[in-house]
Amino acid sequence: MQRLGNFKLPQFFNFPPFFTLQPVKETREKQVQVWKQLLLDYCRSQKIFVIGLEEDFPLFSNPVIENFEKYFNEKLCDGLLGSLSHEAREVFLSALISEGHAEWMDKDHRKCLMLWFRLQEWADYILNFVKDNGLQDGVMTIEEMRSGTETHGTADTLHATFSIIQELAGIDRGLLLRVLRLLEQKGKATIFKGTSADDDGVKFSV
């Protein structure tokens, strides 16, 4: 099985037609479905929060298909062989967006924020994190949360806490702020400005 770093790629990734948008409705739906899953799984495992549509992204092209072709045809192949057209990239990401699993970050659709947890799911995650760690009424800085090194909690909850911290570690700062603001609106958190951006903090009142 082909791998990308520590990520195990699905079988379809080596099948050339999956890189061309399919004209038949049912086939297209299936194609979009497997791509959505792959994009979310990969981004989550690699903690990639932003995909640039015009940039190189490991999933947008498969060198194996191209090499295979070169090997048999002994001539240089088109750049689109085994890689997604701009249209296809937009179709797959739009499908994620329609489910709340992604957002365009600009009007030109050049950057896309990946939300393997939807905003509300992230909010629930953080609330659990706060409860499990007895951080109610406690104060944390934004950077502290992002660093993922916080290890409050008893031995019993440590394991659960650890996985939540793992999920939070390295979270996109803009995303984290939006999730916290969502909690603020519901009266579960208060964000306050520090002397510098690094000192911005949050107080939970669950």
Partner 1 sequence: MRRRPGIAGLKSAAAARDQYRLVGENVARIRADVMKEQLETFRTQLEDFARKHKNDIRKNPTFRSQFHEMCAKVGVDPLASNKGFWAELLGIGDFYYELGVQIVDICLSTRSHNGGLINLQELCSLLCQRRKVAREAVTEDDCLRAISKLKVLGSGFEVISVGKKKLVRSVPTELNKDHNEILEVAQAQGYVTIEELEKRLSWSSGRAIDALETLLKEGLAMIDDGHRDGKRRYWFPCVASIFSAPGSDGFRSL
Q: Which residues bind partner 1 (CB under 8 A)?
A: 1, 10-12, 14-20, 22-24, 26-27, 30-31, 33-34, 77-78, 80-83
Pairwise CA distance, residues 132 & 165, whole Å = 11
DSSP assignment of 61-114: B-HHHHHHHHHHH-S---TTTTB--HHHHHHHHHHHHHTTSEEESSTTS-EEEE
Element (H, E) at 36: helix 25-46
The residue (of 42 and 204) whose beta carbon lies closer to partner 1 is: 42
Pick 11 or 151: Cβ nearer partner 1: 11
Residue among 72 and 107 whose Cβ is closer to partner 1: 72
* Smallest gap from residue 66 Cβ to partner 1 (A): 9
CA distance 180 to 101: 18
Cβ-based neighbours of 130, under 8 Å, separated by 6 or more: 136, 138, 204, 206
CB of 85 to partner 1, least distance (A): 8
Q: Between 66 and 164, name the residue whose CB sits nearer to partner 1.
A: 66
d(CA 43, CA 58): 11
Report, in Å, the least distance between residue 78 CB and partner 1.
Answer: 3
Residue number with CB closer to partner 1 (26 or 106):
26
Beta carbon of residue 1, minimum distance to partner 1 (angstroms, whole number): 8
Minimum distance, C-beta of residue 9 to partner 1, in the bound complex (Å): 9
